[in-house]
Chains A and B, each alone.
Chain A
Amino acid sequence: MSIPSGAENPATLLPHPTSSPRVRLPTWPRWARITLLLLPALLVVAVFFVGGVAQAVAQSLGYQPFLPGHGLSLDAYRRLWHDPAVRASLLLTARVALLSTVASAVLGVAAALLIRRLARTRTVVTRLVQATLAVPHLVGALCMLLLISQGGLLSRLAHAVGLTASPAAFPALTNDGFGWGIIAEYVWKETPFLTVIALAVLAGGAADLENVASTLRANGWQRLRHVTLPLLAPAVAAGSVLVFAFTAGSYEVPYLLGQPYPATLPVVAYQGYQNTDLRARPEAMAVAVLITVLTALVVMAYLATASRLSRRSL
């Protein structure tokens, strides 16, 4: 009787009830098993992700399946490069994404450090943080509109205490040129995300290392700076990359909370896509490709720096 490798077929270890020839159950070779298991998921990724990106690239180069007779060219990209509107959009998108990410990271870590030191209220606050995470972004956009717009609750509070006399006197935080409303919604939703990540890291042994540091003559601030923050850095950085990618690529929030012009890149892409004039399609696709490239660059930058510091978390 052959010994099955790694006991992958223990059925052959059992004695056969009669003495007829032992039957070996068919076992798939390992590589076949792995491939079969991965196939559905990889199919989803290949068809949708790879297919979608490839199509976007192709269409941005002029490939139009419904319009005959157009050759491939980089015209769309050239037009983008010279279009001041696109440049303004790029600036807005980068600004909003960067500010949101940085603010969420700082606030998220601060919140996690605070929650860690709570005793009786800790569970309640943690549940509240998780609940905020669950709120869909569309709902968040509406919340912001109702809260910080010029007719919103904060404006009315300002009026009630005498700071403003009319809606217009309250600063325009929604549908404004800087993107304050957009940033506010992102920060409200993404801070809890980074808080949950930071809390998970802190729960996993940070306290022990901080104790060691205190026996090594480190005071509170030194422990924070030399132990706690470096421990949090990998996971929070990975989470921040996700936040950046999301805030750069989201459509519904900037559409509802921003201005029509300049709009963020995803809004520009969608509007170009909806244009009934199909000749505008390549440009819309080029913007989509631009968004993809932008996010990919950020991820690659993260991977490059993280692996150099060899503390990758993603």
Chain B
Amino acid sequence: MVELDRVSKLYGETVAVDDVSLALRARAFTALLGPSGCGKTTVLSMIAGLLAPDQGDIRLDGVSMARSAPERRPVSIVFQKTLLFPHLSVEQNVGFGLRMGGLARSEVRRRSTEMLELVQLAGLGSRHVRDLSGGQEQRVALARALVLAPRVLLLDEPFSQLDTGLRTEMRALVRGLHDDLEVTTLFVTHDQTEAVAVADEVALMLAGVLAGQDTPKAFYTAPPSLAAARFFGVTNEVPGRVAAGCFVSADGTLRHAACVADGAAVLVVRPEGLQLTTETGPHCVPGTVVAARFAGTHLVVEVRADGGTRLTVHVPAAEPVSVGGRVAVRVPPQACTVFTQPR
């Protein structure tokens, strides 16, 4: 169980990591998600020991690691650039850590070969690093990290340089290895679909701050903040006010459980959560279709509500939609999230 306790890191004037407290459950697969420059790689480097936090502590199973050099932490890390040693063969790369630990050569070779099989690179031990493809290089880097049986495995966007098909394959490989070896894993990425596809839990970092930590589903159905919602691709934001337990906007009123404190508020709802309908009534907002675009698996329909708000709705591709026609948008309350005091 890895804990970051109020960790901060500054680079001169810039705060890269701001008072972050993060707990990784033992043997869980957590994704550390966030846009470029939000501090995720810094967090990873601090857990690995390559950077020292300016404030706060990092603990493994309750014991502080802050003073330990990287070589003494039971943490392995795989970087974005594979950083395989160019002067060593594949097998020598994989066995590097074991050799540094003083293990007998025959044992090193045995474990390296075993690990290469696990990452599906059996038989490539004597190959030179230069002759490998991008995907093969990453597998070697993985093998090199895992052969040391670390307590924590850190991955810093390791597949961002690979093309899509390969990326999916490698994700599955990492997830499979995690499940087999039961190692606590922290996977850094800027791609929220990747995070959602592979992780048990997602920790979202925005501008150096931890903006939420929850299951992937929760980020979709109940995002913890407006910034988090925006990061996850919510495109419908309706400004308005909260009054008497309801959200009031130019397009209507909606009773919502989150409407507690009166004041300015914003309502967000995902395009997939809305439907087009011809009904009228509560939670149906009348409006005109402004645009309809085919997006492969669905239609992206933009509706200008009569009150002025623009709503984006995803409808099944086969549904008949005519631009300029009158339509109503059904807004289910359970698909909405209301944030008070929007920034």
Contact = CB atoms under 8 A, between A and B. Distances in A.
A284 B27 CA distance: 78
B128 A215 contact: no
A211 B97 contact: no
Interface stretch (B78-86, B108-116, B183-191): B78-86
B104 interface: no
A160 interface: no
Contact of B70 (A214, A226, A233, A310): A214
- Tell me if B's interface is mostly helix, strand, loop or mixed: mixed
Given A208-B81, A216-B144, A311 B71 contact: no
- Tell me if A's interface is mostly helix, strand, loop or mixed: helix
B220 interface: no
Contact of A310 (B48, B72, B83, B128): B128
Interface in B265-311: none
Interface residues of A, number: 19
B126 to A, nearest CB: 13
Contacts of A6: none
Given A208-B83, A227-B85, A230-B87, A214 B69 contact: yes
A217 B87 contact: no
Contact of A216 (B69, B81, B96): B96
Given A227-B85, A231-B87, A311-B87, A217 B50 contact: no
A230 B86 CA distance: 9
Interface residues of B, number: 24
B75 to A, nearest CB: 7
B71 A211 contact: no
Nearest to A310: B128
Interface string A216-240: 1111001000110011010000000
Nearest 9 pairs of A and B residues by beta carbon: A216-B97, A214-B70, A218-B100, A230-B87, A217-B100, A212-B83, A217-B97, A217-B71, A215-B77
Given A215-B75, A216-B76, A231-B87, 6 more contacts: A214-B69, A216-B71, A216-B145, A217-B71, A230-B85, A310-B128
Interface of B: 48-50, 69-72, 75-77, 79, 81, 83, 85-87, 96-97, 100-101, 128, 144-145, 148
24 contacts: A208-B79, A209-B85, A212-B79, A213-B85, A213-B96, A214-B50, A214-B71, A215-B48, A215-B71, A215-B75, A215-B145, A216-B71, A216-B96, A216-B100, A216-B145, A217-B100, A218-B96, A218-B100, A219-B100, A226-B96, A227-B85, A230-B87, A231-B87, A233-B87
